[in-house]
Amino acid sequence: MKKYAYGVDLGGTTVKIGRFSTDGELVHKYEIPTRKEDSGAFILKDIADSIMKDLTEAGLEKDDLHGIGIDVPGPVHEEAVVNRCVNLGWGVRPVAEEMRKLTGIENVKVANDANAAALGEMWKGGGEGYTDVVMITLGTGVGGGIVLNGKIVGGTFGAAGEVGHMQVNAEETRVCGCGGTGHLEQYCSATGIAYLGTEALKNTDRPSVLREKKNLTAKHVFDAAKQGDEVAVEVAEHVGQVLGRAMASISCVIDPQIYVIGGGVSRAGSYLLNLVSENFKKTAFHASVDTKIVLAKLGNDAGMYGAVKLVLD
């Protein structure tokens, strides 16, 4: 194995690029903007150019480069072909093949961003030391990634790990971003939690510090809940119930060693973790009640770590 490899986390606004030593240390990281004009025609070239420039600046050569791993915000099919990244303006695109041509580097691997983040957290984050990991990312939406035997489970249609779209409430009439109803994401994303908070205030006359907030956010809800605000506590408990139950169902399918909870909402920390763990234990199949549940550690770098891990394996 050569000395260095790149992990590239390709997002809708910026591209995070990390140069790693092949023994797994992040040596240098930087960002470039994601140029979306002309249906994202320049994105891969920008990345390739930037990597070549970084190599030169570091006094390295192509021959020192073991490979390039890239994650993208869309479904990745076999042979590393990406099928529609709405955020990038891409249709079907053979990312690995294009990147090989642009860089002359043969070892290029591609994964979906949520899956790469799960792999990164397994390797160097909250799931370090484990091989069977479910990562759940509570952000604007709810994403997820599944790693079994140290490898990403991508799914037949690139939809493995889409746990945000598990139906957790068959009676729900509100529509999820994906067109379904009653999905996990509608309750446990930052947006979902803000919605639940707003509804809770409407449905009660009780005082609550949440009433003072102009644009209620998930952070407001958890901050107030930690201070004992009754309405906020109820909303937080609802979130914990819904997520804990969904995880209990996930364990009935693949029974992982550990859950890693990440994303902006996870900054609520041990307060959230305790709620989720308690509800998981209540509903989990008896064999799985001792499954570990931890917070993510790598923050926004998780995708970059996972991406480089793809070419180190």
Chain residues that interact with a second copy, rule: CB under 8 A:
75, 132, 146, 148, 153-167, 170, 178-180, 241, 245, 248-257, 283, 285-288, 290-291
Partners of 258 in the β-ladder:
133, 292
Nearer to a second copy, 37 or 253 (CB): 253
Q: Which of 204, 191, 264 is nearest to 233 (CA)?
A: 204
Q: Residue 159 CB, nearest distance to a second copy (Å)?
A: 4
d(CA 145, CA 122): 10
Instruction: Give the sheet arrangement for strand 65-72, strand by strand.
Output: 26-33, 14-21, 4-10, 65-72, 108-112
Q: Residue 282 CB, nearest distance to a second copy (Å)?
A: 9
**Dihedral class, residue 59 (left if φ above 0, else alpha if ψ from -120 to 50, else beta):** left
Q: Residue 47 CB, nearest distance to a second copy (Å)?
A: 26
Nearer to a second copy, 38 or 290 (CB): 290
Nearer to a second copy, 57 or 170 (CB): 170
Nearer to a second copy, 92 or 253 (CB): 253
d(CA 78, CA 262): 27
Q: Residue 285 CB, nearest distance to a second copy (Å)?
A: 4
End-to-end CA distance of the chain: 11
Nearer to a second copy, 109 or 213 (CB): 109
Contacts of 183 (CB under 8 A, 6+ apart): 164, 165, 166, 167, 168, 176
Q: Residue 156 CB, nearest distance to a second copy (Å)?
A: 5
